[in-house]
Amino acid sequence: MVEENSWCKLVELAQRGRDDCMSQLAREAKGRLCAYVYRVTLDHDLTDDLSQEILLQMMQSLGHLNQADRFWPWMYRIAQSKIKEHYKSKQRKKMISASAFYKDFLSHKNEHFQEDGLKQMLHDELSKKVMVAMKQIKQQYRAILSLRCYEQLSYADIAEAMQCNEVTARVLFFRAKKAIKKQLASQGLGKGLLLTSLALFGKLTTPAEATSTVTVSAASTKVGLTTAALATAGSKLGIATIATAITLASIAIAVMPESPKPNASFSASSLPNRNEIQSIHFTSQLKDNDPNTVGSLSKGAYEQWLYFPDGIDGPMFMRMQRWTPEQDQKLCSWLENAQGNYYYASDKNQVYIHNCRVCWSNLKVRRLPCDTADFTEFLSQVEGDLPSFAEYNHDPETGLLISSVDYRFTNAFNFSTEYLYNTTGPEQFQYNWPASITVIDERDQMHKRGWTLFRINGELNGKNISGLGQIPFVYSAAGEHPAWIRLNIADEIEIIDCSAGSQLRRADGITIAAYQAGTFFKGLPRPWMGMHTADIIRRDAVEKHLSFNSKLLENEDNLIISLDCRADMNLIYTINMEKDIVEDIRFIINGINSGTMYFSYLQDISPADAEFAEPVISDISQIPTQDGTGILWLANLASGNLDNR
């Protein structure tokens, strides 16, 4: 077995092309790797398959490892990516009973480990309880427990392996330890058995050929006071815990002046880059929009989890738990994932499936913690909540929102919110309400289908407008039924936007300009992206620093949004709030209605609708791809200079 201090030398020799060293490296790494993968997946067959894939990628990519002493964090990062990739490709994990799982575990252990003296122990009730408890916690938690307790990685190395920051790694470990304690308690094992249980799990999952002894030290399971506070941030006790932690930390600083400040954990080095964000967790308060309840917290506290399956600029899943303002009792909750939009009514114990995404009842634009400081500041100016109502603290290097303070609430003075990045996995966004709960599906036909076709017609500056398109309503439908649009302005201009790209063409088919896919969906509904159309349109406007105002009509079915594109031009949107779509766009130039684009969406899809064929992008290799103008393309269309760049 290779000694720990010999790994670097072995890696360096393998990188230099020594085949014997590469083979030895693969052999020696396999034991630790298989143990880690099994501890995370608890699936023997899957462990065998994934371990082979990981070792193959290790051998193919070893030359890209810059520092030999970073081999193990790098190796576990490959393993984490392979495990996540596997489960991401599966819509649902196969569920097996705890009893069946343990019988399968015993069969493999008895077959492969009869010689190491554990056979008797495997039939002990303690072993079963420990294994079943580990089965019940999240894979992400098993991963970080394995890296910290058995691989004895530092939090910095764990952060590298799990592609997060060090603060997130500490928070994850705290939550993992809390989760396993809870599961052990449900099996009748007290808190005092945590170290024993962790050590036993490590021993039970160690390959027979491994020569090292599994030990778990008390030091490896410790986390700091600030970490514990961060880990509970956003929960019903989060704010109180953070306040207590900061108070205690301040006392410690007063006694020991050399100690670091408690907010040092929010340094730029501890935050992910924007393109590395996978999830965000935070809690905020929503003010009642009734003018008679200014400063009221009657709307409650909203704990939110956001997940970005394709990266921060792609679609978003959301889970939200509403608490009482004091955060001591759960109320209703929401889930918006790849399949649909769900609302749980706690008073009725019923789940409703809606057409539309969540839109705040006070008509404020939905913000994201990853919005830039410039975006947030302009939006606050438009909505009138800066500087008197809220203060946002962005990291100067990454631009990420670290914390915020809301001054609006009389019964929650200086309400603080902390934002945690990359602490939540995709399993948080599965539908998991009990089967006994009544489900009421209120979706119309096209939303049940998950996608639809639409037509555009109208007139602008005396010219006819006509178009066709396709739109997915949910993420799961976007692959087979991607968004596309074909729009014609009289017999002069044709706009094409599809998954292959975007083009602006003349009537004779000559391509005028080429753009990235999605360019001409700016300013149009994109429900598969995870936000209500009302928020998508207004956020598109904020990106271009366009002021707007919003007004809900008396019937409360339609929202009117007026965008100030230029001094002489406004775009007026009519948005159907229940169906989550744009019904029409009016173009106002110098106070006069110069035209309207009407959108009609097909509830029924007929096989005979051959007119709806996804457009084909012509060869434009000789034309450079240009940057689009965002929502302003609609203003340029109204001005007649869409093709004059």
Least confident of 69-73, 115-119, 308-312: 115-119
Task: Note whether 375 and 535 are within 8 A (CB).
Answer: no
The answer as to whether 2 is a domain residue is no
611 lies in the same domain as 463: yes
pLDDT of 112 reads 44
The most confident of the ranges 139-148, 283-292, 479-488 is 479-488
Choosing from 441, 462, 477, the residue where a domain stops is 441
Q: Is there a domain that residue 18 lies in? A: no
For residue 69, the model assigns a pLDDT of: 84
Same domain for 207 and 244, yes or no, is no
The whole-number pLDDT of residue 14 equals: 86
User: Which pLDDT score, from 0 to 100, does residue 108 have?
Assistant: 64
pLDDT score, position 644: 54
Q: Is residue 363 part of a domain?
A: yes
Tell me how far apart the alpha carbons of residues 150 and 202 are, in angstroms, rounded to a whole number: 7
What's the pLDDT at 277?
A: 92
Is there a domain that residue 423 lies in?
Answer: yes
Strand bridging mode 484-489 / 493-498: antiparallel
pLDDT at 47: 86
Q: Give the CATH number, domain containing residue 548.
A: 2.50.20
Examine the pLDDT at 329 and tell me if it is beyond 80: yes
Whether 119 and 247 share a structural domain: no
pLDDT for the residue numbered 243: 35
% of the chain with per-residue pLDDT over 70: 77
517, 428: one domain = no
Task: State the pLDDT confidence band at 265, using cuts at 50, 70 and 90.
Answer: very low
Length of the chain: 645
Measured CA to CA, the distance from residue 229 to residue 242 in angstroms comes to 5
The answer on 511 and 436 residing in a single domain is: no
| Residue 50, phi then psi, degrees to nearest 5 | -70, -35
* pLDDT tens-digit map of 542-568: 999 999 999 999 877 899 999 999 888
Q: Is residue 384 part of a domain?
A: yes
Mean pLDDT (whole number) for 304-322: 94
Predicted pLDDT of residue 308: 94
Q: Is 271 domain-assigned?
A: no
Which uninterrupted H or E stretch holds 495?
strand 493-498
Contact 531, 366 (CB under 8 A): yes
Average pLDDT (623-628) is 86
- Reported as a pLDDT band with limits 50, 70 and 90, residue 424 is confident
What mean pLDDT comes out for the span 335-360?
95
Q: Where are the alpha helices (DSSP H) in 347-500?
A: 373-383, 445-449
Give residue 311's region: left, alpha or beta (phi > 0; psi -120 to 50). Answer: left
Instruction: Say yes or no: 452 and 427 in one domain.
Output: no
Query: Residue 36: CB partners within 8 Å, gap ≥ 6?
Result: 76, 79, 143, 146, 147, 150, 151
pLDDT in tens, 584-625: 999 999 999 999 999 999 999 886 567 888 888 876 667 888
Give me the pLDDT at residue 573, please. 98
The residue-averaged pLDDT of 214-232 equals: 59
pTM of the model: 0.60
Indicate whether 452 and 436 sit together in one domain.
no
Residue 617: the pLDDT is: 82
Report the pLDDT value the prediction gives residue 255, as an integer from 0 to 100: 31
What mean pLDDT is reported for the chain?
A: 80
Q: Compute the average pLDDT of residues 367-371.
A: 90
Structural domain for 505, as ranges: 446-639
Q: Please state, for a pLDDT cut of 90, what percent of the chain lies above it.
A: 33
Average pLDDT of span 22-46: 87
For residues 107 and 47, what is the distance between their CA atoms, to the nearest angstrom?
15
Helix (H, G, I), strand (E, B) or coil at 561: strand
**In degrees to the nearest 10, what's the CA dihedral of 570, 576, 582, 588?**
-20
pLDDT at 93 over 60: no
Residue 520 lies in a domain: yes
Q: In terms of domains, do 572 and 594 share one? A: yes
Residues 512 and 607 in one domain: yes
Q: What is the pLDDT of residues 170-200, one digit of tens each?
A: 888 888 888 888 888 877 776 667 887 888 8
Structure tokens at 27: 């052999």
| Number of domain units in the chain | 4
Q: What is the pLDDT of residue 109?
A: 60
Of 441, 473, 489, at which residue does a domain stop?
Answer: 441
Q: From 424, 441, 458, give the residue that closes a domain.
A: 441
Decide if pLDDT at 1 tops 90. Answer: no
pLDDT at 61: 84
pLDDT at 496 (0 to 100): 95
What is the per-residue pLDDT across 475-513, written as a single tens digit (0 to 9) for each? 999 989 999 999 999 988 999 999 889 999 988 888 889
Higher pLDDT, 94 or 221: 221
Q: What is the mean predicted confidence (pLDDT) over 5-25? A: 84
Q: Which of 66-75, 191-200, 518-527 has the lowest mean pLDDT?
A: 191-200
β partners of residue 344: 333, 351
Q: 428 and 460: one domain?
A: no
Omega within 30 of 0 (cis) for the link into 309? no
pLDDT score, position 245: 34
Confidence of residue 227 (pLDDT cuts 50, 70, 90): low
What is the reported pLDDT for 214?
Answer: 66
Q: Are residues 359 and 292 in the same domain?
A: yes
Q: What is the average pLDDT across 336-355? A: 95
Give burial (CB, 10 Å; 0-12/13-18/19+) of 15.
Answer: middle
Indicate if the pLDDT at residue 464 is higher than 90. yes
Q: Are both 555 and 597 inside the same structural domain?
A: yes
The pLDDT of 339-361, averaged and rounded, is 94
Position 19 in a domain: no
What angle, rounded to 10 degrees, do the helices at 71-88 and 7-15 form? 70
